Amino acid sequence: MLFRPISTALIAAAALCASAASGFAQQSMPAQGHALTPAQRAEVIGLIKQELVQDPSILRDAIAALQADDQASQASAQSKAIAGSNKALFHDAADPSMGNPKASVSLVEFYDTRCPYCRAMRPEFAELIRRDPDVRVIFKDIPILGPNSVIEARALLAAQRQGHYLALQTALMSGSAETPTETYLSTLATKLGMDPVRFIRDMKDPDIASRLAANNALAQALGVTGTPAIVVGGQLVPGAVSLEDLQKLVAGAKAS
């Protein structure tokens, strides 16, 4: 979840305090009075500073209120975006997935093969599905970490056409993050039982580039700012999470 920078909150809180104090000072002036004079303004500012020094909780409470408002606004916007993108998120037959295709709960992961936090999620997802056969994990490749990420994302979608998406995903994300040259990928495809010539040809298919572009556009629409990002039960959860947290998210989704 993104937060308004503290410096901005401080400024806004101070502005609120100043506005309130200024309004109070103006109310205390005669009805025919005008704006504060420089001397009056200096006096008001001095009073504000004195009050904040004596009771810092005023500023702390203002900052907390601003941050809570930001979080609520962002959560509401994301919830609406997820609801509006339900079909693209959970019902795109072209998306690769693991687990029960008829599960009552689906999680969507936006990820990059070269992201170390995404790599840490692989065994968590595998164990989640092993423990709960009523869960499916849908993968949305968003290569955001440079050209090698793009190549590997293309390779995965090419491997999917031969039924080897998950096998190649495991190979790429459990290895030493080697440079994905055409020779390396071709050799890997052969080891996994794919037709390497078709595999390399499919990697260059414009349709695959279009699918990746669509994934990126969807991620941006939902406010995804990094990987991994998980969508489940109408909420977007940024960052890697533990198996225990995944189970709680699934339980919450089932309950709702």
Map out the domains of the chain as residue ranges: 6-75, 88-255
pTM above 0.85, yes or no: no
184-239 confidence digits (pLDDT tens):
999 999 999 999 999 999 999 999 999 999 999 999 999 999 999 999 988 999 99
Q: How many angstroms separate the most distant Cα atoms in the chain?
A: 88
Q: Are 250 and 237 in contact (CB under 8 A)?
A: no
Going from the C-alpha of 67 to that of each of 16, 56, 63, the distances in angstroms are 14, 17, 6
Q: Give the range among 59-73, 166-180, 242-256 with minimum mean pLDDT.
A: 59-73
Q: Are 152 and 123 in contact (CB under 8 A)?
A: no
Q: What architecture is the 88-255 domain classified under in CATH?
A: 3-Layer(aba) Sandwich (3.40)
177-194 confidence digits (pLDDT tens):
789 999 999 999 999 999
| DSSP secondary structure, 189-212, as one string | HHHTT--HHHHHHHHT-HHHHHHH
| Measured distance between the N- and C-terminal CA atoms of the chain, rounded to whole angstroms | 22
pLDDT value for 75: 62
Which tokens hold the place of 126?
Answer: 């595998």
